Structure formats: C-alpha cells, structure tokens
Structure 1
C-alpha cells in the first residue's frame, strides 16, 4: 500500500470511518479478508492491501502512529525562481557539497496552490483551516484534492534530485507551455539533451496500454501521456526547441520497470520511469543517443532562459 496522499488510506481499504471503534475495525478486516481472498475469486493485490491496512491500524499503537503521521507542508528541497534549494534547509545542507544545478521557478507551487484552493472549497467558505496538511483532514478529503498534494510532493522530489546533478545542468519548473492550459512540471537541460518531465503520483501502480497510462485511480477519460505530449508540443512551437525525450517520473512502487512510447514522426519518445532511475537517465540519456556539444547546450540554455515563462509570471 502506497504512502502517497493520493492512495487509498487503510480506513478506505477496510471500508470504515477513521472514527471506527476497534471492534468495528476487526469486523471490517475479517469481512474484507473473506471477500478478497483469491480462493473465492478475489484479487491477490486486494487481499494483500487488506492485510497491509490491518498492519497499519489494526492495533491501538500502530493506529495512533498512523493517525498522527503528517504530510509535510514545506518540502526542504523546494527551489524558488533564480535560486538553489533553500540554503538553511536540512536537505540542502546534507546533500551534495559541490556546485548544484541552476534552478528556476517554483516546483510544486502550482499543484500546492490548487490543493489549497480545492481544500477551501471542499471545507466551505468562511471555515478556518488551522493546518491544511493535518493527516485527518488530508485523508478525509476527496481523491482529486489528495492527488493535488501528492503531485506537489512528487514535483518537489524530482526537483531535489535534479538540483544535485551539478552545474552542468539547468532546470526550469512550473513552465507555461505556450497556449496549452497545463504547465510543464520541469524542463531540464544537460549534456545528455533537453528533457520535459512530468512528475506524477496517482497512489497506485500504473500500466501502459496503447500508448497511454492507466491505473485504478485514473478515470477512463484521463489521458496523461496525451496531455503531456500536447503541452510539450505547445512549448516546442513557442520556443522553437526540440525535446530529446518526454519523461514521466513516478514513485518506485508505481511500476517495476521503465516503460516507453516510441517517438512517432517528429514526436519525441515518451519514457515512464521510477524516480530512482531519473538521475541515471538525465546523465546518460537514451540508449544510442548522441550527447550534445558544450556549445550547443550553452546556446540552447540562453534561448530557453530568454523564452521560458512561469505559471507565477
């Protein structure tokens, strides 16, 4: 079971309220075990999820620990426009000591703002929210709202990894994609090429089917790969730059192996990877791909720096 805000909580898996008594939890657990057991036609994944849910909230100690676990309200790796990671943060001080990548924009800022807007609408106008990241509030919110927070955390994690690549890399975050309504989470330029990156977390494993990603938490009409390609194409038209590849970064528990949608015509390849593979991809590039010259990277960086606009501009 994923720890993502977008994932089903143990209470949702067992089908009970967070205020359920210990006896109600026990009865729900036994019922869900019977319904999901593979011997009676249940799915093994659902059966395992029920057992993991019980491990997390089945006794008073583990339940209390889970209930007070808080989602962070400020990631220490956050990067602001024209700056490196916050110098006083624990993550920045404990990270690589050498020169860091040039970072511009505010990773996760747009998603966090959307999370707070939707949360206020859901709670009700005029209601004071003392802590918008309190665990009980987050877990009780609708999945759409929780997904906004999960996506913000995913973008911040990606930005932190990119920042450690070194001075040879430049990254822009929350980039306006020309006329497209959705921004591009990250644009990263380095010796291996120019990459557009989508950082996502749907709180569930994903599969690639007919060139599109699917997951239990995605609606049938959702087309994340298609929308990502459209946004990258709009930025390509606006700036006159060509991406080496489009990269979808997911939590490691969302997929076991990288997935790829081959490029079609002028469209670049779309690669779907677990987060632990991101640094290697940005350093080494795609198999068989020629690395760019220093002069080419320098010229392209100047063009991007002059042309990129941010969501907050």
Structure 2
C-alpha cells in the first residue's frame, strides 16, 4: 500500500510531520482511527490504510526501518534477449526452469523517461545520487511519479507471467497506434496460452480502486482505463487478424476489495479486474466467458502476432 510511487507516505496518512515525536504520532493515529472507522461513517479502505501506516511507523524499530527505506528501484528491471529466453533477474544467474516465451521490454520506455525527467526536475544539471530514493520520488510531480509507478507495475506483471511455463507466449509493450505514434498507445501485455488470448493492462493508481458500471473509479483514477484497454486491443486484433478472448486489468493486491472481480462482457469482451497475486491462477484457468484456444490454432495465432506485433 505504501510501496507505490503514487501512494501517500505513512506520515501523510496519519496526518503528521515525519519529524513528529512518539506522543504526537500516537495521538494522530488514534484521531485518524476515529475519523475513518466504518462504524462512525468513515471509509473502510482509509481505515485499513491508517492501521497499515501505524504498523510501519508505530514502533521505534519499525519507524527507523521505514525512514531508511530501500528506494523504489530495488527490484531490477527485467532483461529480454532477441531470442526471447524468458525473464531473468538483471545481472543474476540464468534460470533453467521452463518459462513462457517473452518478447519486448515491459516498462522500458516509462522507466527511461522517468529517469530522464526525475534528474531534470531534481538535479537541474547536478547528478542525482539515487533517482529511486523514496523522499525524492514522493516529492516529485505526479506525472513523473506515475511514469515510475507504471513501469514497476508492468515489470511486476512480467515476472508473474514469465512463470506460466512454456505453453504460454507473452508480448510486452505492444504498439497500438500508427507507426511513430504516441508511446502510451500500447497494450502493456498480450498473453497467449491454452486458456485463450488476453490483453492485459498493468496499473497502479496509488490507492483503492472500485468498479462502477464496468469501469474503474477511485480518487486517482484518470480517464476510463477499461475502455482504453479494449480500444487498444481492437487495434492490435485488426492488425494481426486475431480475436482476443478476454481483457484483464491487474492491480496491486492492497488496492482491490477482492482478488478477482469478473465484470462480464463489455463491448463483447469478457473483462476481469485481478490482483497481482491472483493473476497467474486467472491466466491458467481463464476468465469466465473467454474462449479457450488449443491445437493448431495456438500456432496460427502466435504466428499472426509474431508477424504483425510492433513494440512501443
């Protein structure tokens, strides 16, 4: 909940300055508990946030660890070779387990853009020692933080789908606009396997998200993510001459009320909102209403995508 570049810090949730003493911190915690408790008209999601914030800074040792932080860039970016050897930790030993065939560089454009903008914003010509320092990241403009949040979300999904096994093929950062178009006009991931062909959006809004009338809503939700995903899937489907079986929006576990929420058909496509920890299970069993793919059709769809996919 607090490891997102877009989320408020534990101190901000409790409504205190990071330099507050222990007594002030304790008073703030009790006040915020009363204000957010569902029994007194508060918001359940905010109530949980307050409890989690106290867990992180409520004791001397926990607070010291939280204040030290470890940055938002500790998890290494995935590496992919031209022959699609599957994901492996950056600079780490090769993993010999069977992996999904993976193409593209998840989060690559956004991570590079983030590094460029954070240095331009914070450094002003001076070298930034750690562009992922939590204090630096949280003080940056929202647009800059969102780039990093999106990159980390895509990389997290890439690590999950790489473990699906050799029966799956995954394309990351698939362009869904005219050549030379907006890099943001893309499908984060396209996953092909026995359960079907899926377009996947990896998101992190930095806070709780709900569903209303087939679309995501929340304090930090901008635009219409589900509608945008479906529109980009149509572009890729027309170009490749394939039919997607379903659409999946992947969100951090703490930001959804339930791990799997199937929305039924939207514009003819089965859609599901899924927590990260449930993504693997959903891709293995499929989304309700999605058409499974088997036999020679898998090879035909894979070939069509390989011949037409362009990367953002």
The TM-score with structure 2 as length reference comes to 0.85
Give yes or no for the alignment of 1:105 onto 2:104. Answer: yes
In structure 2, the CA distance between the partners of 1:47 and 1:160, relative to structure 1 (3 Å rule), is closer
CA contact (8 A) 1:76 1:92 kept: no
Residue matched to 2:122: 123
**Shift of the alpha carbon at 1:187?**
0.7
Residue matched to 2:18: 18
Residue matched to 2:203: 200
- Taking the aligned partners of 1:264 and 1:53, their CA distance within structure 2 comes to 37
**Shift of the alpha carbon at 1:268?**
1.6
In structure 2, the CA distance between the partners of 1:135 and 1:170, relative to structure 1 (3 Å rule), is same
- Taking the aligned partners of 2:71 and 2:31, their CA distance within structure 1 comes to 30
Residue matched to 1:176: 175
- Taking the aligned partners of 2:220 and 2:89, their CA distance within structure 1 comes to 37
Question: Residue deviations 1:158-197, cap 9 Å, x none?
Answer: 1112111121211111111133732111111112221111
In structure 2, the CA distance between the partners of 1:157 and 1:17, relative to structure 1 (3 Å rule), is same
**Shift of the alpha carbon at 1:27?**
5.3
- Taking the aligned partners of 2:230 and 2:266, their CA distance within structure 1 comes to 11
- Taking the aligned partners of 2:94 and 2:155, their CA distance within structure 1 comes to 13
Residue matched to 1:244: 245
What SS does the aligned partner of 1:263 have?
A: strand
Farther-moved stretch of structure 1 (146-155 vs 75-84)? 75-84
**Shift of the alpha carbon at 1:258?**
2.0
In structure 2, the CA distance between the partners of 1:169 and 1:30, relative to structure 1 (3 Å rule), is closer
Residue matched to 1:309: 310
Question: Residue deviations 1:115-168, cap 9 Å, x none?
Answer: 224423432531321111112212333444333322222211211121111212
CA contact (8 A) 2:272 2:287 kept: no
**Shift of the alpha carbon at 1:305?**
0.9
The TM-score with structure 1 as length reference comes to 0.85
The total of aligned residue pairs comes to: 305
What SS does the aligned partner of 1:262 have?
A: strand
Give yes or no for the alignment of 1:259 onto 2:258. Answer: no
In structure 2, the CA distance between the partners of 1:91 and 1:204, relative to structure 1 (3 Å rule), is farther
Residue matched to 2:55: 55
What SS does the aligned partner of 1:61 have?
A: helix
Q: Unmatched 5+ residue regions in structure 2?
A: none
- Taking the aligned partners of 1:291 and 1:26, their CA distance within structure 2 comes to 54
**Shift of the alpha carbon at 1:199?**
1.0
In structure 2, the CA distance between the partners of 1:75 and 1:106, relative to structure 1 (3 Å rule), is farther
CA contact (8 A) 1:80 1:107 kept: no
**Shift of the alpha carbon at 1:73?**
2.5
Q: How does 1:1-313 map to 2 (within 5 A)?
A: 1-22=1-22, 25-26=25-26, 28-29=28-29, 31-33=31-33, 35-36=35-36, 41-73=41-73, 75-76=75-76, 78-82=78-82, 83=84, 84-86=86-88, 93=95, 97-123=96-122, 125-179=124-178, 181=182, 182-219=185-222, 222-255=223-256, 256-264=258-266, 267-287=268-288, 289-311=290-312
CA contact (8 A) 1:139 1:146 kept: yes
What SS does the aligned partner of 1:147 have?
A: helix
Farther-moved stretch of structure 1 (224-233 vs 175-184)? 175-184
